[in-house]
Structure 1
């Protein structure tokens, strides 16, 4: 499948991966988890940024999602640290 996926990084994640936004070829990434694993293989900086469960939240097309959410070419995936209220 052709196309791209836009990835946004917020807060400390942006600092750890060294960018706030990137566009990557869609390729063989049927889920958010597959996208993240592909990025980890391509860039070692992702291992620190995405090191533990519960350390990262995700939204797909501006809707809160989880790592099993399916992806499609043209999607926007946003990663951000957990938020607290107050």
Structure 2
């Protein structure tokens, strides 16, 4: 998981449960935010980092939006590739 403002990811070990997972998938890649809780109820959240392993199962619902096109494009203000959603013509 990469915490807000951090440049490096943090590895969380032990039994943790996914509470929420939200974001977008596009041909340019994924941008996902996650919150998890440990056995004592402590909650952590941030960006999903490459290499996450699910211990048992994760139930995910993906919704297709065929009328729209998702992409990531450089943003001059933020300096990051930001999500752009356009209607398909």
Please classify the TM superposition score into its range, dividing by the shorter chain length: under 0.3
Greater RCO, 1 or 2 (C-alpha within 8 Å, sep 6+)? 1
Larger radius of gyration: 2
Compute the TM-score of the two structures, normalised by the length of structure 1.
0.26
More helix by share: 1
Scaled by the length of structure 2, the TM-score of the pair is 0.25
